[in-house]
Amino acid sequence: MGPTVAIIGAGFGGLCMAIQLHRAGIGSFTVFEKGDDVGGTWRDNTYPGAGCDIPSHLYSFSFERYSSWTRRYPGQPEILGYLEECADKYGLRSRIRLNTEVVSAAYDETLGRWRVRAADVAEGRESEELFDVVVSAVGQLNRPHLPEIPGMSSFAGPSFHSARWDHSQDLTGRRVAVIGTGSSAAQLIPPVAEAAGHLDVFQRTPNWVIPKPDAAFNRAARAVFHHLPFTQRVYREWIYRYAEGTLYRALAGGWSTGLLRKRALDHLHAQVPDPELRAKLTPDYPIGCKRVVIDSAFYPALTRQNVDVVTDRIVRIVPEGVETETGIREADAIVYATGFLTTEFLVPMEIAGRQGRRLHDEWKDGAEAYLGIAVPNFPNLFLLYGPNTNLGHNSIVFMIECQVRYIMGCLPHLTERGPMEVRPEAMDTWRRALDRAMDHMVWQAGCASWYKNAAGRVTNNWPGSTPLYRRLTREPRPSAFRFAR
């Protein structure tokens, strides 16, 4: 039968964990999902133009290849549909509790089990259950970040975050303000600019942008992928090797950094003929220090007659729009494309380990976990897409599969030897290795980014290659853990 497992979240991570438990014949698991369906970030982000900047054949499970992708770069509806199909194919629906949010998880040292308290989102009614293992699959992009701008509540019109798009609002012909120019903004600005009467794009820091080589897969290509499955494997491997061989080397300060920078500057010059606008959009920091935007429609949208790029500092929000240091820009609607609370891992859940230690107290100086998966003093707690496992060059789905394989390898050990927790000395060794590797990465340059916490420490990204991470997580080393027996 195996251990009882609580999985928190039903996005890519939670579904991957559930599928592998199902395939291993371990049926005693429950997936808690606070939303009304599976999909995670792909259920929540429904703004116009929402999609992925990783090619579709790589942004999917290696064990569940999909021959019906319609484009090289999938849109949000297609990714969500893929995840829904995965949940249905493996019969996971009966294991998933929708509209149920985990409020807390506390380790009971007497029982050697976790007390998981969850609340019905609609009614607020709470219940508690015992589990042997807790797997957090809440990810890093699940809580929208709203900037602290004075007067936000005073705005007379509708305002919302891009991850909570208000589809009841028709922006056609209206004056719209979009605050932010990151990846989400780059995707939503082109369709909004086309619909709006006027669009003000408020930019604090320009991003490096490279073109997205998107194209549709015609019926013949999809037929080849379907009838000759090896072609999918070859195509996926080619994309993967390009990402590792070129993009990773650029982030690590390798030979391709200059090539990537030239590609971005050529893209900017080709799409933005106005030198004044081009100057506004030219970053003054090394490429890769912040997440590189991959989009081919963003720059053309900014050159439209009905679009202004505003770089003046925002002072406050006023009832009639956005006040900058040079005056008021009137708006009928405001969209905050300002990212997520990426460094606040597992918030707002209360996680308590041995001796009542609170995880958020342990992480007050920055989140950290051994291999991004395990934390000292928190037995049988495992993280997916945890600290220092995000990527700036490849597919996070690859990392999730590595982590799930590692956790599956832990289950026989904890079943035989009792609750397991990573040793503090193993965590110390891991921390030092991370710090050494991080010194060589471009993220350490002077720019601000969502990769860093308030103290400037990179807590989100993995500084190594993905083949290295795969080797490190191939199987757990029992010597890195303490067991109850």
| pLDDT tens-place string over residues 78-116 | 999 999 999 999 999 999 999 999 999 999 999 999 999
pLDDT band with cut points at 50, 70 and 90 for residue 173 = very high
Neighbours of 292 (CB within 10 A): 22
pLDDT band with cut points at 50, 70 and 90 for residue 326 = very high
Strand arrangement, sheet containing 314-318: 314-318, 321-324, 327-330
User: Distance between alpha carbon 154 and the CA centroid of its chain, in Å?
Assistant: 31
pLDDT band with cut points at 50, 70 and 90 for residue 247 = confident
Residue 1, pLDDT > 90, answer no
Concatenate the DSSP letters of all residues of 191-247 into one string. HHHHH-SEEEEE-SS---EE-----B--HHHHHHHHH-HHHHHHHHHHHHHHIIIII
Average pLDDT, the chain: 95
Is domain 152-215+249-336 in CATH 3.50.50.60, yes or no? yes
Between 2-11, 281-290, 434-443, the lowest mean confidence (pLDDT) is in 434-443
pLDDT of residue 443: 81
pLDDT band with cut points at 50, 70 and 90 for residue 165 = very high
pLDDT band with cut points at 50, 70 and 90 for residue 150 = very high
pLDDT of residue 344: 83
- Domain(s) labelled CATH 3.50.50.60 in the chain stretch across 5-143+341-483, 152-215+249-336
Angle between helices 229-242 and 219-227 (to 10 degrees): 100
What mean pLDDT do residues 228-253 have? Answer: 90
Q: 105 in helix, strand or coil?
A: strand
Between 89-103, 221-235, 319-333, 455-469, the lowest mean confidence (pLDDT) is in 455-469
Structure tokens at 473: 């997580």
Cα dihedral sign, 162-164-170-176: negative
pLDDT of residue 420: 98
- At the top level of CATH, the class of 5-143+341-483 is alpha beta
Strands 314-318 and 321-324: antiparallel
pLDDT digits (tens, 9 = 90+) for 266-322: 999 999 999 999 999 999 999 988 899 999 999 999 999 999 999 999 999 999 999
pLDDT band with cut points at 50, 70 and 90 for residue 23 = very high
What mean pLDDT do residues 58-79 have? Answer: 96
| Residue that has been written with the tokens 């832990």 in this structure | 410
Between 124-133, 143-152, 246-255, the lowest mean confidence (pLDDT) is in 246-255
Angstrom CA distances, 403 to 16, 385, 406, 460, 463, stand at 10, 8, 5, 15, 16
Residue 255, pLDDT > 90, answer no
- What percent of the chain is predicted at pLDDT more than 70? 99
